[in-house]
Amino acid sequence: MSAAPTAQAFTAPDHYQLSGGGISITYLPIGAGGLGHLQYQDSLRTLNFSGDQIRTVEVPDIGSIVSVTLIMTVDSGSTTFSVLIPKTTLQSKVGSSAHIRTEGITTVHRFSLLPAANLGQDELYTVTSLHGTASDVIIPL
């Protein structure tokens, strides 16, 4: 008589470490205080975001799009960074991880106080290939 097969438990990652093209991202969907945290680093700056500074949209055909505002000006627009977070399944044990490849999109949102200068394309995109790990590192309470 053989033992019944054991059900394998699976989980979603709670820590993403991604880099490429001079950009490094650390993203925790739920971190300290129950809030999401994202650190963005490039050759010019290191920026930390948490809570409602991080915008997340679930898109069934893509995964999650996670966005933050890097630069905001009152008279010339803004610059945002978005990263595509693919659905990733891990074994449900602390320390499990998977290698992932994805894209980061830096968007310059053009704006001018002169209405005539607002003609044409308003968003300019730069796409950066990112790779790294999606991990289960936080021990549940």
pLDDT of the chain along its 141 residues, tens only? 555 555 568 888 999 999 999 999 999 998 778 899 999 999 999 999 999 999 999 999 999 999 999 998 877 789 999 999 999 999 888 889 999 999 999 999 987 767 767 778 889 999 999 999 999 987 555
Euclidean distance between CA atoms 85 and 28, whole angstroms: 11
**Domain annotation covers residue 98:** yes
With respect to residue 125, please indicate whether it lies within any of the assigned structural domains: yes
* Locus of tokens 């309470």: 141
Q: Residue 2 has what pLDDT?
A: 54
**Does some domain include residue 127?**
yes
Instruction: Answer whether residue 27 is part of any domain.
Output: yes
**Contact yes or no for 102/86 (Cβ under 8 A):** yes
Q: What is the count of structural domains for the chain?
A: 1
Examine residue 3 and state whether it is found in any structural domain, yes or no.
no
Cβ-based burial of 130 (10 A; exposed 0-12, middle 13-18, buried ≥19): buried
* Domain span including residue 91: 10-135
Predicted local confidence at residue 139, as pLDDT? 59
- Compute the residue count for the chain: 141
Quote the tokens at residue 86. 């693919």
Give domain status of residue 126, yes or no.
Answer: yes
> For the whole model, what pTM was predicted?
0.86
The Cα–Cα gap between 72 and 18 comes to 24
pLDDT of residue 7: 58
> What's the confidence (pLDDT) of residue 49?
97
4 domain-assigned: no
pLDDT at 93: 84
Task: Identify the CATH number of the domain in which residue 121 sits.
Answer: 2.40.128
Strand order in the sheet with 23-28: 46-50, 37-41, 23-28, 15-20, 123-135, 97-110, 77-85, 63-72, 55-59
Beta bridge partners of 130: 102
State how far the Cα of 24 lies from the Cα of 81, in Å rounded to an integer: 12
Is 38 contained in some domain?
Answer: yes
